[in-house]
Structure 1
């Protein structure tokens, strides 16, 4: 008997309509079929379900794993990214069926996130260590992955939506970010496959392998792009620091030193990505993501 939480079911129907309702109706049969196919036993789902159904599983040999399935655009990009990373800096992909968008990954124990570490310098060092392991040459066949140029099209799309304007986003902020994103994209160095959303809660610890990334977006771009998500997350944690400005300056300096990146490039990617996240929020909900704008204000105060 598989547990399908009511809150999760309601969310999926709200997000995906009849497609979500049909997927939920088939979900128990789908899970049962993969228990048999992969010779696993699936347990109760994790408590923080959102767009995907995620649950622990145990193999016949006692090996602990995590099963994930859903309707989002994470499939097939995420499993293909994990396959490319091959366990170097990221959780290992054990099996994947594209037909039903079901993937099986190793389970990290204890699996606590980098967010619980109180020493922020140690946090950045752990994150840069993961980054260096992840960044490998692009696979020969990499056309399934979007590029940061593709992501950057959101600037023009929002202008089109608002007849050349910037909608609810302040024009001065939007214009600066749009210009920076275009300039950085045109002057990128070596292209690698990036995680694309490498913040504190997407880096978990394993008792044997140390810190590993989970939930990659899988996007092609230069390594310096990867630092943006780490810098702007999480806003409540940043605000809880006695001096958010000094914290952010030190983080940028530390990232530049440990990764041998240009400090100005880290800063510029962070600012332009923060506005890009606001654009995506407007696209999804029609509402501003104020945390992104607050972070932009913080970055502007550094200059």
Structure 2
């Protein structure tokens, strides 16, 4: 947490400014210039006192720790993106005891006010101890297998199939030659899974170690959903392969590939015991 005295500037840090300038051009430049005024407007609108700033998160978003009366809150503001709209829709659909609680949302400002999860320990912070890795799977399992809700026919969230089409577009693959060689295999595996799992659920879409936080009352809860429609099992993949190099490196072996493969297998076996999914499908 970066403590912000009253005299501190609300300008974005230089790294975020560079990223936004490069990616969004003149639109991003204008948004950066207006950012301090935007934050002040949010503080005034919701009666907030600025406490600190979170360092984690995507470059297009900035997260502040704020206080509203006696209530500890989080203010998340970002450059207008479609994912902000899918995030707020997903948060409204998931059970209130499994995700962060939304207090207010201002769509024109792309400003989201949420209850602060405390103490807010992330599962990632526990990866320093490789012996705990399977324990982390058990902590996350209730979210991985039961957070999702059936998707209504009127739901406008994107589908996983759209994600695959977009992610494997020729424009993307031209910039990711290493990824291109695995596209056919990925699509074949996807067809096999969708044949076996044809359920239609609203998924978190990004349920990894950094997006699962400890709440003193509710236990482990999820934050930052992408909001996507697909088979429920698809919410497990992001967690299973997340931070494999980090966890493997801490295992004290030079054969990183073997360690990573073993770690993935252990995660899948552990999750299989806590879910309706066989190990081979999780892999």
Instruction: After superposing the two structures, state which structure 1 stretch, 171-180 or 110-119, moved more.
Output: 171-180
Separation in 2, partners of 1:161, 1:206: 40
1:192 aligns with 2:201: yes
Query: Which residue in 2 is equivalent to 1:121?
Result: 134
* 1:77-156 alignment runs, 5 A limit: 77-117=86-126, 118=129, 119-139=132-152, 141-143=154-156, 145-154=157-166
| Contact kept? 2:98, 2:143, Cα under 8 Å | yes
Separation in 2, partners of 1:88, 1:123: 19
CA change 1:190–1:40 in 2 (3 A) is: same
Deviation at 1:48, TM superposition (A): 3.4
Separation in 1, partners of 2:172, 2:67: 49
SS of the residue 2:100 aligns to: coil
Separation in 1, partners of 2:94, 2:241: 24
Query: Which residue in 2 is equivalent to 1:157?
Result: 169
| Contact kept? 1:3, 1:44, Cα under 8 Å | no
CA change 1:172–1:103 in 2 (3 A) is: closer
Give TM-score scaled by structure 2 length.
Answer: 0.83
Deviation at 1:137, TM superposition (A): 2.3
Query: Which residue in 2 is equivalent to 1:13?
Result: 21
Give TM-score scaled by structure 1 length.
Answer: 0.78
Instruction: After superposing the two structures, state which structure 1 stretch, 192-201 or 166-175, moved more.
Output: 166-175
| Contact kept? 2:248, 2:263, Cα under 8 Å | no
Separation in 1, partners of 2:269, 2:263: 10
Instruction: After superposing the two structures, state which structure 1 stretch, 193-202 or 21-30, moved more.
Output: 21-30
* 1:1-303 alignment runs, 5 A limit: 2-4=9-11, 5-48=13-56, 50-60=59-69, 62-71=70-79, 72-117=81-126, 118=129, 119-139=132-152, 141-143=154-156, 145-154=157-166, 157-158=169-170, 168-169=177-178, 173-240=182-249, 241=251, 242=253, 243-267=259-283
Query: Which residue in 1 is equivalent to 2:3?
Result: none
Separation in 2, partners of 1:56, 1:167: 36
Pick 1 or 2: higher relative contact order, CA cutoff 8 A, min separation 6.
2
Separation in 2, partners of 1:133, 1:226: 10
Separation in 1, partners of 2:191, 2:40: 48
Deviation at 1:235, TM superposition (A): 2.9
CA change 1:43–1:14 in 2 (3 A) is: farther
Instruction: After superposing the two structures, state which structure 1 stretch, 213-222 or 172-181, moved more.
Output: 172-181
| Contact kept? 2:245, 2:260, Cα under 8 Å | no
CA change 1:39–1:229 in 2 (3 A) is: same
Cα deviations by residue, 1:146-186 (Å, 9 ceiling, x for unpaired): 11111121365238976xxx972376533212221233234
Structure 1: gaps of 5 or more residues: 268-303
SS of the residue 2:25 aligns to: helix
| Contact kept? 1:138, 1:193, Cα under 8 Å | yes
Cα deviations by residue, 1:82-114 (Å, 9 ceiling, x for unpaired): 111142311111111111211011111111111
Q: RMSD over aligned Cα, in angstroms?
A: 2.4
